[in-house]
Structure 1
Amino acid sequence: MAAAVNTPTPEIGTTNQTDDGYDKKCIFCKILKGEMGTELLHNDETVSCFRDIHAGAPHHYLVVPSKHVGNCKSLGKEHVPLVEQLVETGKEILQKNDVTDLNDVRFGFHWPPFCSVTHLHLHVLAPVSQMGFMSRLIYRLNSYWFVTADQLLQRLNSMS
């Protein structure tokens, strides 16, 4: 007979996540709850959007699930519609801000452990042609630390 694994059970009320999908320690959850004074450019039951405080391009937005979802490494095939909705919302925000050349836009995610916030967030950057040296490095295509939305969707769709 195998030995039982003694896994500690958290005390009631000590978990960070609430029933409504809010993580009390997550900065993005706090933004979505209105606790940080950040302007929401889009906010519905599924996704929300706000400006990145460390803009890497003239237009740099973060599109996030309205309920706490872990980073892109924790996603499964069932998250494909969510990721697609993040991208569509990003495109809508760009259009509302008069960005019409979607060929000069980058949609992507930092790959763990290279993300500073564990709440899933899509970076929407435009125009890419106006990004500075450091931004080109931080949001670099085909790197270990940044994947495009298309690459993530391809990865999720290939899961069994």
Structure 2
Amino acid sequence: MKGKTKRESQTVLTQRMLPQDANPAGNVHGGVTLKYIDLAAATVAMRHCRSNAVTVSIDRMDFLKPVFVGEVVNFKASLNYTGSSSMEVGVRVESENMFTGEKRYCASAYLSFVALDPNGKPREIPPLILETDEDHRRWKEAEARRTLRKTERKRERESQQRAVGRTTE
């Protein structure tokens, strides 16, 4: 399968935040931010694999600064890593005050996706072609997160199995 570069799938989703996006404190609700992060990341994943792709996990969702109603928010998403059917997408969230021009780095997240065939089964995806030093750095960091996710999943399964064993005894 022919590989693809990060540039072939990256995207910027721009959204103006309106009053219905606010939480009780008057800032943009974190769930609204998460929705757009997932949408931008899914766009990247689906562009890369040219098929349906579903979110498997969200890692390191960091809210760094608030987003305010009325601001324009850019959700910058790009591919960091590919496996045989899975991929990691990084999303950087930046807000812009329309009146002052001030821009702030507000949030970031790493999301894992699996590509699906028409029957809903995992399918092979194109490998990611690494072009720059930054691409290589992001790949290595994504590999480390992937290893950590697998270790955590295994530990959680074992813990759940032990808990089930205690309740049936």
Given the two structures, how large is their TM-score scaled by the length of structure 2?
Answer: 0.28
More strand by share: 2
Normalised to the residue count of structure 1, the TM-score between the two structures is 0.29
Please state which structure has a larger fraction of its residues in helix: 2
